[in-house]
Amino acid sequence: MKIMVVQGPNLNMLGVREQEIYGPMKLEQIHNQMKEFANQNGVDIEFFQSNLEGELVDKIQECFGEVDGIIINPAAYTHTSIAIRDAISAVSIPTIEVHISNIHRREEFRKQNMIAPVCASSIVGFGPFGYHLAMIGMLQIMNEVRAVREAQQARAAK
């Protein structure tokens, strides 16, 4: 099993920017914790961060046929990007959206979410722990997908 973690704009500044909202952890620390969890569960994991919308779309499209699940924090593009939404929809890979802050309790413009409707789930407001929750959720989704495939193969073999 393989998971791609896609990080949007300004997340490379975690630990520096607005610590009262996003906390003191750096993105590298979050990724290291995710790697550790992935290793403990026999999952391959890769990470990608960009401040550019087109690069995020390209990375999501590159996941097609290559990964079993995507964990994405589209950051500010959550509220504006039909392109990212369409890329997630096009690849049909189980995707979990993560936000460190609770976007529903913030500025009015952050309550618009273009991404959530095409994701299996959204995790918001748990700080960096949200990524751990997303990993647990993705393992569950991938196990369910595997069980369905195995059942279909067993029926087809009869």
Active site residues: 22, 99
Tokens representing 50?
């960009």
Q: Is 88 exposed, middle or buried (0-12, 13-18, 19+ CB in 10 A)?
A: buried
Q: CA 104: distance to chain centroid?
A: 18
In angstroms, rounded to a whole number, what is the distance separating the alpha carbons of residues 5 and 131? Answer: 9
Number of Cβ within a 10 Å radius of residue 31:
17
The dihedral through the CA atoms of 135, 89, 48, 10 has a sign that is negative
Tokens representing 124?
């918001």
Contact in structure between 10 and 76 (CB atoms under 8 Å): yes
